Chains A and B, each alone.
Chain A
Amino acid sequence: MTVFAPPLASPTTLDALVDGYRAHLGGRLNGVGANGIENSGVEKNNALASDALLNADGQLRPGWQPLLQTLSELGAKGRRQQQEETQRLLAENGVIFNMHDDTQQRSWRIDPLPWVIEEADWQRLAMGLNQRSRLFTAIYQDVFGDQKLFAAGLLPTQALLGDIEHYLPCHGALPNNCPPFIFHAIDVIRDTHGQWRVIGDRLQAPSGIGFALENRILMARAQPQMYRNAPLRRLASFFDVHHRSLNALAYQHRDQPNVVLLSPGPSSPRYFEHAYLANYFNFTLVEGSDLVVRDAQVWLRTLGGLQPVEVVLRQCEDVDCDPLELRGDSALGVPGLLQSMRAGGVALSNALGVGILESAALSPALPALCEHLLGETLLLESADASTQPETAPVFDEAMTSLTPTTLNLRCFVTRTPDTVAKDGHLNGDYQVMPGGLAWVGAPGSPSLGTRVVKDVWVSAPSVQPHVSQLRQARGPVVATRDGTDLPSRVAENLFWLGRYGERLDTRTRLLREALLRLMEFDQDDIADQLLNELLVALEIVPSGDDGALAVGFQDKRDRLLAQFAPQEAQSLPALFTHLLHNARNVRDHLGDDSWRVLNQLRQHIDQFDPPQDASAARRACEGLSAQLAAFFGLCNETMPHHFGWRFMDIGRFLDRVLGLLSLLKHTLEAPRSSTLALWEVVLATTDNYTAYRRRYRSELHPAAILDLLLFDEANPRSVGYMLKRLENQIEQLPGAPSPNRTPYRNAERRLLIQANAALHLADIERLGQLAEEESARQALKALLEALLTPLMALSDALSQSHFSHVERPRQLISLEADE
């Protein structure tokens, strides 16, 4: 057995740290401490009797010494370096998982010193938490069952009924053989008498466990020497039990139930945790519109059709879960979900209605309820106005000294798996996570607003075996990676991610060319004319509006620079916003590296602000194209080439081919005098200038350009190549009949055949007479139309076949006024 042996440190460093803290406690005035953190509730005279680190005699409490020794040995500089490392990892996680607000850093830092809780003290707390979960289960079963407690006068009836609005439909809705909740978050503090006191409960969509897990993982990564052989309780087994409990909720397929995590979506401030947990547990992250209730069962809409869902880990409030029976105007839920729970078609964690248990009005009634329902004395008292929190040490921002502050602790309780009991009797117990989320603040202050969080160490008698973060598989591996289980919404988001990415790229390239001509303004007639053509191509100036083009340099510059401001509908930041919105919705399908590039892209675009002159704007364009290429390149390298990737690819190449065809069309419509120069722009925006020079080594020749841009299937920028790629991708989509077996072609393939036929039947020799013969010009125009028409219809056809069933359900608003 490994014995934890802390490295020997010079006693003076450690002592200095503790002495400094002791001085804070002893000689401090009430109010604000040295680190600027409010020391609310700290009693001046009695401070030493009520501190987490020092006992009444000013001596270190057990469990802290090895930690402080390691940290003091690092010195302030070492601690600062470590803090920077943790903060970097924290920011990185924010980038990777927090799609909602990744423009901001996390508001908090992780303190290098964890909160140490001694084993015996923890046991006391854990027993109280366990009892509280059992008590709340019994209260739920009564309130939503035969309601004996109201009649017995044991419940704060007035207060609960004032809030009953959304709980009426939940009455009697939970099948007997199903526990009301399997996850319970409880906020506690330790008071100046060393007693644990409860601040409040969270049961509807308890947050914080993802952060608690993150704190542990990041701290262990930043301070491996401190964590590796420490005698502290590990968290992994708790997550394992919780995972098994979720699976055990399933009425069917208990070995491999389909568990989904229902999130309100990227607009929720807790989306970070939802993505983090879905990733940790390997659950499908879904939103309300991904699910549908049919035959009183819950189904996940996927490309391959509807897939049954056995367990919903919901992270939405009760009232938002079902617009049929609960809040009618909520767009987050699933119509019929409550009926499905009632009928035993799906299990929810937690069951609907648990929100009523969060009511603060319950607190005064709990001691009597505990006696009545459990026959036990309530172990954990609720905090009240007179409760004073104890102090605990936290490093100041400079990492030089420890200062006293007050901490909140959110604890997490999971129900252990219930085994099947035919008599409806539930035999599950509750288990407390040995740790939690601790944050600095006055008792009851919100966790998300804190400035400092701490890892929580529960001491163990000996070093605990390290359990891998990768959970051990139980049962057979079920391969569901063929991609047909992809939610339809995700496919749609990926498709639009591709389209917006490409549109952004096309526009960036056109803008770059326009800015180049702007810089040559008034020096060259051709450049002036080209600039005008580009303004039309960019749809900044309407086609045929000569008056609008007659304006001077200043005006044209302003119009071009406006394309860098988010207010313009087709501006680069506006297009990027669409791209990012779609990307955030499919975060769990993109690789971490792709996401990093996207984040750089976002920072790049944030810096536009808009540029002051044309050359700065042109430089901004340069970086953009390269980063977009990096993003899609990484997607191609890291995304499995299943349906999701195919939809993104189809989106990209569809938008690219439409962009090229529009540009070619515009070139034909422009006055002949500028035609040749425009061809040059076409080559430049499609990045084909070099290819053209190398291949044809000639002056610009329309026939050669058309060959390169229309027919050369080896050129990824040619229409021919793009059609082939689209055809290949669309053939692989689900629901496409094998071409060998039947002559039937679905709508999207018919449209592609139409476009391909137009291209293949074109007479390139004749089209090459473009510069000389008007008929050639007309023929090319007709060809471009013949290509554009089916391709523009393709997007809708794809939506019809693959996305159209994702539509928002609506209320049948009954305006039936009785007469």
Chain B
Amino acid sequence: MRYRLRHTTRYHYSAPVTLCHSEARVLPRQTEHQRCGPSQLIISPSPQVQMERCDLFGNRVLYFAIENVHRHLDVTVVTTLDTEALAPLPAASPPWEQVRDALEHTSTVELLLYRHDSPFIRRQAALARLARRCFTPNRPIVEAALALNRWIFDNFEYVPNATTLATPLDDVLAHRRGVCQDFAHLFIGTLRSIGLVARYVSGYLETRPPPGQARLVGADASHAWLALWIPEWGWLALDPTNGIVAGAQHPVLGWGRDYADITPLKGVMNGGGKHRLEVEVDVMPIAEEASAREATSATDQRRG
């Protein structure tokens, strides 16, 4: 699939900001299944300093500083990218316990990073119990993961604004509701609690207008899912919010241990008073025919 992504983050401040330092993770990265064209980046007002680097996870990080007095901040990124589906799922996969035991002895930093606790995700017994609903003894890891993905989709209610960033995983688990970020965190927590390796993926999801209506600009949203490490195969991307495997319709921004590692925009500023935030996301398929074909086969009610 070819998409044009447009992601705008806009802050309005009630008082002038005299200086702000920001760190943005809004530039999509190349992946095995995704090729990115050059990103067009517009920051308003223009920053005095702007530098790009890669973090330990390989995400593109943009540092910028606005040193003149300003009352709003607008960061817009437009990127054209091509995505492709994951490789076909392995027909057979090892029992999950075997994967867990092998991971006990790994010294690969990349895997270990995603096995430990992280700012938003703490391993705990309640999560391990949840995992064992599907991760039954000797069950192949891929089969178990797909089952749990479906189970979360079936048993958790998608309720926008029911949670905030500060809502602990325990609450999500207790009330069985939340948004994509909560489900991704929860799923990762269950997997890590039984000794597996899973990472948080931040990206987008194309939403389709109801039949006969035009697409609304800015109506899409950023999305989050997760990826589970399958030895000798790779990262299995799972979208528990929709109960599906994340594939070509899930353009990737970046990944980390959880949301904290891939926060779109962080900043420290002087002044500013209260602020109001607007986010606009467009996920525009470029090849319309291709997407039309795809649409007939895709799940009808996509949510993020």
Q: Which residues of A contact B (CB under 8 A)?
A: 147, 150-153, 155, 157-158, 161-162, 164-165, 168-169, 171-172, 292-296, 323-325, 328, 335-336, 339, 342-343, 805, 807, 809-812, 814-819
Contact = CB atoms under 8 A, between A and B. Distances in A.
A816 B9 CA distance: 10
B267 A818 contact: no
B67 A295 contact: yes
B22 A812 contact: yes
B239 interface: no
A809 B67 CA distance: 13
B228 interface: no
Contact of B65 (A172, A296, A325, A817): A296
Given A158-B112, A807-B271, A818 B107 contact: no
Given A161-B113, A294-B65, A339-B51, A815 B164 contact: yes
Main secondary structure, interface of A, reads loop
7 contacts: A157-B109, A165-B119, A295-B48, A295-B67, A324-B268, A809-B270, A812-B266
Contact of A812 (B11, B107, B112, B113): B11
Contacts of A328: 266, 268
Given A161-B113, A323-B268, A816-B279, A172 B223 contact: no
B180 interface: yes
Given A171-B56, A296-B65, A161 B267 contact: no
Contact of B277 (A294, A325, A336, A815): A815
B85 interface: no
B116 A814 contact: no
B51 A343 contact: yes
Contact of B163 (A335, A336, A817): A817
Interface of B: 9, 11, 18-23, 48-49, 51, 53-56, 63, 65, 67, 107-109, 112-113, 116-117, 119, 160-161, 163-165, 179-181, 202, 221-224, 261, 263-272, 275, 277, 279, 304
B266 A814 contact: yes
B267 A811 contact: yes
Nearest to B49: A296
Contacts of B53: 172, 342
Nearest to B279: A816
A807 B164 CA distance: 29
B185 to A, nearest CB: 11
B21 A818 contact: no
A324 B19 CA distance: 13
A328 B21 CA distance: 13
A807 B270 contact: yes
Contacts of A165: 119
A812 B55 contact: no
Contacts of A812: 11, 20, 22, 265-269, 272, 275
B224 A818 contact: yes
A193 B79 CA distance: 68
B108 A151 contact: yes
Given A161-B109, A324-B21, 11 more contacts: A150-B107, A294-B65, A296-B51, A328-B268, A810-B268, A810-B269, A812-B275, A815-B164, A816-B279, A817-B165, A818-B181
Contacts, number: 127
A335 to B, nearest CB: 4
Q: Which 9 A-B pairs have the closest CB atoms?
A: A812-B267, A335-B268, A336-B21, A819-B221, A150-B109, A171-B56, A153-B107, A335-B21, A324-B268
Contacts of B275: 812
Contacts of B160: 819
Contacts of B272: 810, 812
A161 B55 CA distance: 16
A168 B264 CA distance: 17
B55 A168 contact: yes
Contacts of B271: 807
Given A151-B107, A157-B107, A294-B67, A818 B268 contact: no
A816 B109 contact: no
B24 to A, nearest CB: 11
B55 A171 contact: yes
Contacts of B112: 157-158, 161
Contacts of A805: 18
A169 B260 CA distance: 12
B170 to A, nearest CB: 17
B106 to A, nearest CB: 8
B65 A162 contact: no
A818 B266 contact: no
B108 A809 contact: no
B65 A161 contact: no
Nearest to B222: A818
B180 A819 contact: yes
Contacts of B65: 293-296, 336
A324 B267 contact: yes
Nearest to A811: B268
Nearest to A297: B49
A158 B103 CA distance: 11
Nearest to B182: A817
A809 B268 contact: yes
B180 A818 contact: yes
Contacts of B63: 339
Contacts of B20: 812
Nearest to A296: B49
Contacts of A292: 19
Contacts of A150: 107-109
A153 B106 CA distance: 9
B23 A324 contact: yes
Nearest to A156: B107
B267 A294 contact: no
Contacts of B9: 816
Nearest to B160: A819
A335 B63 CA distance: 12
Contacts of B270: 807, 809-810
Contacts of A153: 107
Contacts of A164: 113, 116
A816 to B, nearest CB: 6
A218 to B, nearest CB: 43
A147 B109 CA distance: 9
Contacts of B267: 324, 811-812, 814
Interface hub of A168, A172, A343, A805 (most chain B Cβ within 10 A): A168
A590 B53 CA distance: 45
Nearest to B265: A814
Contacts of A324: 21-23, 266-268
A162 B161 CA distance: 32
B21 A293 contact: yes
Contacts of B202: 818
Contacts of A342: 51, 53
A296 B19 CA distance: 12
Contacts of A296: 49, 51, 65
Contacts of B265: 812, 814, 816
A472 B225 CA distance: 63
A329 B81 CA distance: 37
Given A171-B56, A293-B65, A814 B108 contact: no
